Amino acid sequence: MKPFSGNFTQQEALDDAVIAAATRILGSGRLHRYNSEPGEMSAASELEQAYATYQGARYCLACASGGYALSIALRAAGLEPGETVLTNGFTLAPVPGAVAAAGGKPLLVEITGNLVIDLEDLARKAGTSGARFLLLSNMRGHLADMERLADIVRQHDLILIEDCAHTMGAAWNGRKSGNFGLAGCFSTQTYKHLNSGEGGLLTSDDPDFMARAIILSGSYMLYERHGAAPPADVFERIRLETPNMSGRMDNLRAAILLPQLSRLEDNIERWNERYRAVEQALAGVDGVALPCRPAEERYVGSSIQFRLPGISPALAGAFVAANKALGVELKWFGASDPVGFTSNHHSWRYVDPQALPETDRVLSGLFDMRLPLTFSVADCRHIGAIIAHCAAELGADA
């Protein structure tokens, strides 16, 4: 098998339009979002306006990171210290981290073999825990049945905040991810769908919630300079009782995001072409289980996941090593110790230990891989063939 030589962490270079936008901001010296001339809309405010339009939301706040967006969303929604927050048992560490940062206590919900939140376990825990909040992680770009989930939210009077770090541009039955509850939280970290190194976006249709979030983000009394904010009278009610917890996005990052947003829809199709190439290479391979992508889901395939159900820890490690020897970088969510960005709930020791037998069963055989747009569709077919080859070799040795 011919090895693959691509780099799994190399994103596409930012083009001339992005560089020109950044140069304009650098040349002005006015990087702070509120350092603008009278009547001028800053780049951060322009981004808020443009992203609100793209998302189909009334309001948008640009902030320092996706994790920051999650934590101030919980605070702006009224989370009290020590209060329970329902969230997925399978996610990345910034999600329970955001709950902890906001003063909450995560109550983890089981997932299914399709890598989405288990709606039966969610309904059960919503009914018994007294929780008011659900911080839903659309982990690795997989959407649950969002209509059923919305029904559970209504039945139990939950406040739904969506972590859409991996689902920017995704939708369920035509309704965009992030628009099913009080708020949607998005990331513009380098490995997400828009790249500003770090950054976050928070959207909502609720004026009081967004006014609190804008004050929390560190607007001082300059909230009228925001591009997609509630009217000034909403701020008058809350401006003196809401603390400043500075986490603003600067104009430089906003400027480089604006040209990328105009190309997001084209890039979604490019990611999905690459996803389908790997998916087709793995479909039907003995021992490999791919998550179902329902017809109702419009996904963004910037990464791909698959399972080898029943694999032992030793063989999982050998499988990762065999792929790496052929140039393919896989992450395994069943490892006992975190590796890079990859961890599971057993290593989040700031969270009370919780029994999640089904989640543990799924994660024990779960593998994950980025699909950067620097890879061609042919590259992705090659990568899929390598994974299939290593899976076949594993089956022969088992």
d(CA 152, CA 123): 6
- What domains can you pick out in the chain, each with its CATH number? 16-261 (3.40.640.10), 264-397 (3.90.1150.10)
Coil, strand or helix at 206: coil
What are the pLDDT digits (tens) for 15-74?
999 999 999 999 999 999 999 988 899 999 999 999 999 999 999 999 999 999 999 999
What is the distance between the terminal CA atoms of the chain, rounded to a whole angstrom?
20
Burial of 314 (0-12, 13-18, 19+ CB in 10 A): exposed
- Taking CA atoms, 118 is separated from 92, 143, 152, 392, in Å, by 17, 11, 12, 31
Sign of CA dihedral 247, 251, 256, 260: positive
What are the pLDDT digits (tens) for 69-118?
999 999 999 999 999 999 999 999 999 999 999 999 999 999 999 999 99
Contacts of residue 153, defined as CB under 8 A and 6 or more positions apart, other chains included, come to 134, 160, 180, 181
Place 394 in a pLDDT band, splitting at 50, 70 and 90.
Answer: confident
pLDDT at 396 over 70: no
| In contact, 27 and 196? CB cutoff 8 Å | no
Which tokens hold the place of 373?
């747009």
Long-range contacts of 121-130 (CB under 8 A, 24+ apart): 121/358, 122/86, 122/149, 122/152, 123/152, 123/155, 123/156, 125/86, 126/86, 126/152, 126/155, 126/156, 126/158, 127/156, 129/84, 129/86, 130/84
